[in-house]
Amino acid sequence: QVQLEESGGGSVQAGGSLRLSCRYSSSSYCMAWFRQAPGKEREGVARMDRHERIGYANSVKGRFTISNDNAQNTLYLQMSSVKPGDTAMYYCAAEENPYGGTCTLSIRSYTTWGQGTQVTVSS
């Protein structure tokens, strides 16, 4: 079973930047970042597959960047131009055998999750 551990969360002012890290015990075919704000459903933010094909939610496109460092076994989420609406608990997720062989931003597509790291954006 893959182990995931997120870090890098904290408080940041609107317009600022933050980089989240997800240390994994072994790589998976799909890896992704999700977030969940209080009272809201968990939503997909960014995904990457083993071939480095990437996808983003429309709400973060152009502001967030997902990347992976295989040598460090770490997945990153670079957050720029953050907004108060980005405030949420951010989760790393992994799936080795995605349905249909395609990575998505659906929570149902992932079976392994980290514990999360909190991001708070103040105006």
The CB density around residue 64, as the number of other CB atoms within 10 Å, is 21
Question: Tens digit of pLDDT per residue, the chain (123 long)?
Answer: 899 999 999 999 999 999 999 999 999 999 999 999 999 999 999 999 999 999 999 999 999 999 999 999 999 999 999 999 999 999 999 999 998 889 999 999 999 999 999 999 999
Burial of 7 (0-12, 13-18, 19+ CB in 10 A): middle
CA angle 119, 47, 28 (to 5 degrees): 110
Torsion sign (Cα): 33, 37, 38, 39:
negative
Among candidate residues 73, 74, 56, the one with its CA nearest the CA of residue 65: 56
Is residue 108 helix, strand or coil?
helix
